């Protein structure tokens, strides 16, 4: 019996080594660890063993189960990293050494993209809000339905000050203050809350070509009576079509964030191939751009808004990512380099 365990282990490792995309690794997870998976199946074959044998074999299977889970998770992590690198490598070349015209000042590429987004949202009646970079644990997590010790905090490890405050890990940290600022006008005068808030965010990340400990996001929220997912799709589509100066198709996939329900990942049709499939979009025709969703009732409540009466959407656009996509910047570190040679090459195309 224990040969079976070893054989299955070897077989899984072999297949994992051959897998090249997340979908096939997930298929392996189902094949081995799913309800009817081969590892799960080993336990079902135990009924004819003696008690001693059962104990020994069961233990071996459990060790394998744990190891297989870890091997699969590691492989998915590795594939994701490679996919991001491939996406960045397939972008148009931006030459860091091209001499810039330093006699004229220029805006940082993130400022350019931020201003384009602000312009479009302002034209659709959104207020542009500014918010601090140092926030409280309540603002960054608790008010967003992420209690202490919630696993969602893992992905947003950030820098803490001695007084317990922290550098905000996402622009969502301003949501609570925005709701409180505008809720009276919403409730008493029926004015919908429509706000965007761009800002610098921080995460305790190891830095490489795709990760930085400091990056920019732009949050957007809209709250009123009868706001639905269709409103969210409309505003996102309009904004992206303006920024990229062409009609952009969007699609939503389910995504999890504790402060939205339902939550989505918004994809846009690939800018390079127009949706036909190319190396940039890993032949899917789609690029992942912006997490979003309908604001969770608990989050509205924390902002003093009755979720029985009002609904709203929120999105968190990655401005750094948008700038990299728009200008073909392959290494995120160039953006924080402070190098005029690298950063002086961008101009507003309007």
Minimum CB separation of residue 47 from ligand PHE in Å reads 47
Q: Is 320 in the site for ligand PHE (CB under 6 A)?
A: no
C-beta neighbour count of 226 within 10 angstroms? 7
Closest CA to 58 of 69, 72, 44, 38: 44
Residues 141-170 touching ligand PHE, rule: CB under 6 A, are 170
d(CA 346, CA 350) in angstroms, rounded, equals 12
Segment interacting with ligand PHE, rule: CB under 6 A, options 39-47, 89-97, 235-243, 285-293? 285-293
d(CA 67, CA 70) in angstroms, rounded, equals 5
What is each CA distance from 19 to 86, 214, 238, 286, 349, in whole angstroms?
A: 16, 33, 38, 21, 42
Element (H, E) at 260: strand 260-269
Residues 97-116 touching ligand PHE, rule: CB under 6 A, are none
Segment interacting with ligand PHE, rule: CB under 6 A, options 43-51, 86-94, 288-296, 342-350? 288-296
Q: Is 291 in the site for ligand PHE (CB under 6 A)?
A: yes
**In the 3-class helix/strand/coil scheme, how is 169-230 assigned residue by residue?**
CCHHHHHHHHHHHHHHHHHHHCCCEEEEEEEEEECCCCCECCECCEEEEEEEEEEECCCCHH
Q: Which is nearer to ligand PHE, 32 or 182 (CB)?
A: 182
Segment interacting with ligand PHE, rule: CB under 6 A, options 20-28, 34-42, 69-77, 291-299? 291-299
Q: Is 194 in the site for ligand PHE (CB under 6 A)?
A: no
Q: Locate tokens 């091209």: which residue?
A: 98
What are the tokens at 205? Answer: 């990340």
d(CA 262, CA 118) in angstroms, rounded, equals 26
Minimum CB separation of residue 257 from ligand PHE in Å reads 4
Segment interacting with ligand PHE, rule: CB under 6 A, options 14-22, 236-244, 287-295, 337-345? 287-295
Minimum CB separation of residue 91 from ligand PHE in Å reads 22
Q: Is 292 in the site for ligand PHE (CB under 6 A)?
A: yes
Q: What does the per-residue mask of binding to ligand PHE show for 227-266, with x meaning CB under 6 A?
A: ------------------------------x--x--x---
Residues that bind ligand PHE (CB under 6 A): 170, 172, 257, 260, 263, 291-293, 314-316
């Amino acid at each position: 019996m224990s040969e079976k365990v070893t054989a299955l282990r070897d077989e899984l490792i072999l297949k994992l080594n051959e897998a090249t995309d997340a979908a096939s690794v997930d298929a392996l997870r189902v094949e081995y660890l799913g309800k009817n998976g081969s590892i799960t199946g080993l336990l079902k074959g135990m009924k004819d063993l003696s008690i001693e044998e059962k104990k020994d074999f069961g233990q071996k299977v459990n060790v394998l189960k744990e190891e297989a889970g870890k091997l699969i998770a590691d492989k998915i992590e590795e594939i994701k990293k490679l996919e991001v690198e491939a996406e960045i490598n397939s972008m148009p070349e931006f030459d860091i050494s091209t001499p810039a015209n330093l006699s004229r000042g220029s805006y940082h590429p993130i400022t350019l993209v931020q201003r384009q987004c602000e312009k479009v949202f302002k034209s659709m009646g959104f207020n542009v809000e500014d918010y601090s970079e140092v926030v409280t644990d309540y603002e960054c997590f608790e008010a967003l339905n992420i209690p202490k010790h919630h696993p969602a905090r893992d992905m947003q490890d950030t820098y803490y000050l001695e007084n317990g405050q922290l550098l905000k890990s996402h622009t969502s940290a301003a949501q609570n203050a925005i709701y409180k600022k505008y809720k009276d006008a919403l409730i008493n005068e029926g004015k919908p809350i429509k706000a965007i808030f761009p800002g610098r965010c921080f995460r305790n990340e190891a830095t490489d070509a795709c990760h930085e400990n400091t990056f920019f996001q732009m949050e957007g929220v809209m709250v009123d009576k009868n706001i639905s997912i269709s409103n969210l799709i409309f505003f996102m589509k309009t904004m992206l079509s303006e920024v990229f100066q062409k009609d952009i198709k969007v699609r939503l996939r389910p995504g999890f964030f504790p402060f939205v329900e339902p939550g989505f990942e918004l994809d846009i049709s690939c800018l390079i191939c127009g949706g036909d499939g190319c190396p940039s979009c890993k032949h899917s025709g789609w690029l992942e751009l912006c997490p979003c969703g309908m604001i969770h009732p608990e989050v509205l409540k924390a902002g003093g808004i009755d979720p029985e009466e009002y609904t709203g959407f929120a999105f968190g656009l990655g401005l750094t990512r948008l700038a990299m996509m728009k200008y073909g910047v392959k290494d995120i570190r160039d953006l924080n380099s402070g190098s005029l040679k690298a950063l002086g090459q961008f101009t507003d195309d309007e």
